């Protein structure tokens, strides 16, 4: 089958997109790949492309760069298209030769390391104080922001958080056995102020079991059993925009946790455990850690050596 028939037939292109998404475990990846593939298919049709192949994908790569899209975003789009080609080939909808050609399209080289956004201490406190305290929704939103910053949870982890997760260990409150990306399990210490805000929300909402964070309607009453990850994103964005915190994303609150903890003297390996990173290198990227040649670890060994 030609790539043109695969892309230009609406029902078939939709089916192959769903095929790609079904092969992904992460809801976040599914959302990102769906957006990437829908945008690619739209561009393909609107620009009159006639064949899905390496040359076409290279033209799309150039189009994205000409539009000013960031390198990491371009590379994510290309990954989605490679996945589409591979799934199409596996199901006999595209030749292996064409799929291999698309797989060989090079990503955009990224110069340096992007460390992203984060809040300083005053900004983090301002964000936590932004929701109103005299409404049920405000109580919920303060507790949500507290857990995102205080425990460094991802938005899907927050959506899945239950009262049963919060338990006492070694004389303190923790989020116990939290299942994160790729099924990894971690336990995250919960600051006392964070637990207090969760308790305040739970008391106001009159809930003490099951999912912690739930929808609240315009009448300021509970309106469902579960908040979506997208609703959590929208909540954070609303308060960030009100405070003029430009381009602040939910994930940046994890980075804020890491930055403030590191500045406060927390060891990097402990920050790594709270974040659930498989590699300490990932945590170092979050922190933007660089070798300090003026105050190096070797200068702090405390050894007295006779010369």
pTM: 0.60
CATH of domain 121-287: 1.10.443.10
Q: Give φ, ψ of 189 to 5 degrees.
A: -60, 140
Q: What pLDDT sits at residue 5? A: 60
Q: What pLDDT sits at residue 81? A: 93
H or E segment at 35? helix 27-46
Cα separation of 109 and 71, whole Å?
7
Q: Residue 61: which of 47, 71, 49 has the closest Cα? A: 71
Residue located via tokens 């106001």:
204
Where in the chain is CATH 1.10.150? 3-103
Q: What pLDDT sits at residue 2? A: 52
Q: Say if residues 150 and 195 touch (Cβ distance below 8 Å).
A: no
Where in the chain is CATH 1.10.443.10? 121-287
Q: Say if residues 16 and 62 touch (Cβ distance below 8 Å).
A: no
Q: Which CATH number fits domain 3-103: 3.30.310, 2.60.40, 1.10.150, 1.10.3110?
A: 1.10.150
CA 85, 91, 94, 96 dihedral sign is: positive
CA 104, 108, 112, 118 dihedral sign is: negative
Q: What pLDDT sits at residue 112? A: 46
Q: In b/e form, how buried is each residue of 140-168, taking b as 16+ CB within 10 angstroms?
A: bbbbbbbbbbbbbbbbbbbbbbeeebbee
Residues of the chain with pLDDT under 50: 112-115, 291, 293, 296, 307
Q: Say if residues 177 and 167 touch (Cβ distance below 8 Å).
A: no
Q: What pLDDT sits at residue 67? A: 86
């Amino acid at each position: 089958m030609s790539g043109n028939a695969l892309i230009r037939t609406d029902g078939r292109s939709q089916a192959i997109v769903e095929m790609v998404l079904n092969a992904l475990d992460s809801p976040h990846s599914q959302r990102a790949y769906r957006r990437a593939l829908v945008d690619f298919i739209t561009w393909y049709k609107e620009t009159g492309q006639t064949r899905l192949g390496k040359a076409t994908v290279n033209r799309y790569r150039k189009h994205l760069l000409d539009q000013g899209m960031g390198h990491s975003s371009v590379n994510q789009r290309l990954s989605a298209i490679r996945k589409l080609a591979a799934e199409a080939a596996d199901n006999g909808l595209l030749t292996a030769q064409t799929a291999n050609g698309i797989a060989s399209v090079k990503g955009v080289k990224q110069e340096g390391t992007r460390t992203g956004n984060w809040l300083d201490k005053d900004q983090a406190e301002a964000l936590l104080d932004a929701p109103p305290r005299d409404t049920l929704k405000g109580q919920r939103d303060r507790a949500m922001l507290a857990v995102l910053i205080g425990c460094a949870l991802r938005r899907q982890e927050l959506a899945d958080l239950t009262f049963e997760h919060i338990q006492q260990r070694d004389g303190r409150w923790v989020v116990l056995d939290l299942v994160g990306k790729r099924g990894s399990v971690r336990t995250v210490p919960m600051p006392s102020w964070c637990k207090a805000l969760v308790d305040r929300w739970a008391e106001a909402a009159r809930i003490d079991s099951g999912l912690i964070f739930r929808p609240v309607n315009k009448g300021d009453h509970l309106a469902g059993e579960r908040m979506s990850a997208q609703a959590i994103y929208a909540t954070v964005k609303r308060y960030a925009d009100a405070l003029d915190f430009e381009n602040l994303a939910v994930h940046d609150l994890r980075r804020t946790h890491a930055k403030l903890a590191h500045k406060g003297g927390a060891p990097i390996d402990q920050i790594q455990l709270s974040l659930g990173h498989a590699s300490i290198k990932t945590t170092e990227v979050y922190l933007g850690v660089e070798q300090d040649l003026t105050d190096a670890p070797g200068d702090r060994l405390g050894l007295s050596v006779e010369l």
